[in-house]
Amino acid sequence: MTRIYFDNAATTALDSEVLEAMMPYLTEKFGNPSSVYSYGRETKMAIENARKQVAKHLGVTPGEIFFTSGGTESSNTAITTAVRDLGCDHIITSPLEHHATLHCAEEVARDRNIPLHYVQVLPNGHIDLEHLTGLLRDHKGKTLVTLMHANNEIGNLLDVAAVGNLCEQYGAVFHCDMVQTIGHYPMNLPALKVHFASAAGHKFHGPKGVGVLYVNAHIQVKPMIHGGAQERNMRAGTENLYGIVGFAKALDMAMAKHEEDKQYILDLKTYMHDQLKSAFPDIRTNGDTFGDCLYTVLNISFPKNEKSEMLLFNLDMAGICVSGGSACSSGSTSVSHVIKCLYNGQSEFMVPIRFSFSKHNKKEEVDAVISKLKDLIA
């Protein structure tokens, strides 16, 4: 069976050139970067060169870049250390965040016995900046604001610069989950006034198991993992050498062809949207689909009926990989917290599906998916 992969917001295929860059560090260049002899020195140099590459693309200094195991660790570290080390006694997040943020914020707030507030969401899925302003103004202590740059389900983009300005105005610490945007957009983190930013390599054709945490040089936090001097005493443990090399290579490649890839993917997204609306006029889009939205994500809801209820399962059986929320073992779908928030209790009448695209997808694949959907629910 030929498989069609339209779930690139979950993960992307490792680029062959990235693998090629990683291979020497999977084979002959295997030294521990903490060792003082030649094998260790050459691998330590590879890590520091990768750090410089990443820092250049994010507009920051190499000393502000820390390599982690991925976006979840990066976000957890930012949230935990902001409260533990920076004096934050209040957390603001949103009900649309990834669970790596939501669950961590809930745990930290409970453990530290501090208030946790959720900024309101507008009908189009964007954050209500007026409500955020009120939450910041009303708290007399120091606040941590943790909001994602792009929602991983509906694709809505946050006005990061506006939130950064608000945080600066009210003396708040700002963590931004940029897992869906770093590698897809040019970045200048200092201009956005973020204190922390999270990224993951596998979202832009890099390897899994490696991420980045940006920590602004003007703040000082203590390590989350103890036991060694790696990452300038901030993250103990032998480094994921080949993952770090792969992350930097993938980011280099993504930025080199950003405009070309963006236009190609946006054209695919637009084509699929138009074909879906033509074939199924009663579907609805979720989020600000062609406004402030990821060019890689298209989230569509089909009316729920006996044919659409098992749509994800049947698409999978046909070799088509998409997502729609948290699937249970029977193949039916429990609507995600993001869709539930958007529709205020009316989401049980719909079957949401997220199509997410990459540079490897083709128009012919879109046509094949539309044809299969017609077979399944027409």
Provide the annotated active-site residues.
328
CA distance 179 to 199: 4
Q: Cβ(64)–Cβ(78) under 8 Å? A: no
Q: Cβ(214)–Cβ(65) under 8 Å? A: yes
Pick from 103, 249, 88, 111: which is nearest to 177 by CA?
Answer: 103
Q: Cβ(199)–Cβ(207) under 8 Å? A: no
With a CB cutoff of 8 Å and minimum separation 6, the contacts of 41 are: 31, 35
Q: Cβ(376)–Cβ(311) under 8 Å? A: yes
Q: What is the CA radius of gyration of the chain?
A: 21
Long-range Cβ contact pairs of 178-181 (< 8 A, separation 24 or more): 178/148, 178/149, 178/150, 179/71, 179/75, 179/98, 179/148, 179/152, 179/203, 179/211, 180/9, 180/148, 180/149, 180/150, 180/151, 180/152, 180/155, 180/294, 180/296, 180/297, 181/149, 181/150, 181/157, 181/294
CA distance 156 to 173: 22
DSSP state of 47: H
With a CB cutoff of 8 Å and minimum separation 6, the contacts of 346 are: none
